[in-house]
Structure 1
Amino acid sequence: GLGAGKAADLTYWESAARMIADVSKSDKIVVEKSTVPVKTAEAIEKILTHNTKGINFQILSNPEFLAEGTAIQDLLNPDRVLIGGRETPEGQKAVEALKAVYANWVPEERIIATNLWSAELSKLAANAVLAQRISSVNAMSALCEATGADVTEVAYAVGKDSRIGPKFLNASVGFGGSCFQKDILNLIYICECNGLMEVANYWKGVIKINDYQKSRFVNRVVSSMFNTVSGKKIAVLGFAFKKDTG
């Protein structure tokens, strides 16, 4: 379909929305937890309102910010909880209802209320910025190797800047996993759909550097083996894409 390879697959999301419409007998607050494109909540509203009669639905966006390896700690002691809702009396009442649930263990100052679209976009933006930091330090690692600088020392010095901080500044073979590339491609597609080609190209650059870093690393490995891996064994240490993920 349109956007194949970049747009989010909303098949299961649509199925869940239609199931909610089928079984609902009274007013409901429906909470998005998945990483979804901006305006997905609007589509949920249409499905629910067109397939039910006399039932009021309020859609909230409450994206997950859990990280693999620290998910339980992130849930119990989150940096922030983000809740987006409609800017109507009914929407704000729904936001307050979900805030009251989190208030049982999350300090009030960590609970952020926004409009629906800001909450939906914030999750994509967070993952894109984290991936951008990885691509930035990996790009710098290539320059360090070419000039005799040590990327570990450079990253340490840069990370000591209080405006930047040390996290996600470890040079590596590039990012993998189930989120970063998928979410950046989704962000690129959203930019393209809104005619923001320069913005889309910026995020494409993050993907290009990541692909370049992986290819560069493989080429270095092959070069160190006299340009052939035939009949040779290669040990991969730390195969999990992130520490403590098993």
Structure 2
Amino acid sequence: MRPAVLVFSGLDPSGGAGIAADIQAIAAQGAHALPIVTALTVQDHNRVFEVEPVDACLLRRQARVLAASCDIKVVKVGIPGNRANAEAIAAVILRLREDMPDLPLVLDPVLASGHGDLLARGDPLQVIAPLLALATVVVPNLPEARALAGARFPHLLVTGGHGGGPTVINRWQGEGESRDWAWPRLAGSFHGSGCTLAAAIAGRLALGEPVAQALQRAQAYCHGALAASFALGPGQRIPNRSAHFI
């Protein structure tokens, strides 16, 4: 069987980020995404104009059906849309962990879009708080990491794309382990890079890889997808997630 990743994320009509990015990146690792949409958005590949959260009861019902029939190996979460959805997703994870205590949760703690547009109703940190408490791997960018300062997670990979200089440094702190990865900084800006990396990590973990190996291979895939990116119009480019770059 192909390993399954239960995914909770928003729907981006441009197809550049959110649930579309998750499905593509997870499939590229050789796993299968079980996508549950948390929010509908009005956006393109540059700006977010509106966010409409999906009803939390619907999320729970969808997850219940999937959990009863699919062998879920990992859960990946992007934007929950609001606090009610975050609480519903947390309840789903706790239920799944009754049968699989070590079920990993990969969390992309999206606090705002790359342009600074809000992606949830309410204070972003308060919205994701129920998920932060359950996360196994958290993948923030530098601004998100600053907002999360003081929080402790089993595995934290801080991405350096928002930094300066010719090299992007991604820093991992794990359970008694740490490592830095250096990647050449690519020209331009990209829509959905964080979704791509977090989803790829979830896909690698679903294959049964150790965390360090999953992080390494997911970063290699993401860097390749960005290097092969394409344009939909002026502004941010879209990662090419269809190819294999591991």
TM over 0.5: no
Would you tell me which structure has more helix in proportion to its own residues?
Answer: 1
TM range (shorter): under 0.3
Question: What is the TM-score with the length of structure 1 in the denominator?
Answer: 0.25
If asked which structure has higher relative contact order (CA below 8 Å, sep 6+), I would say: 2
Larger Rg: 1
Would you tell me which structure has more strand in proportion to its own residues?
Answer: 2
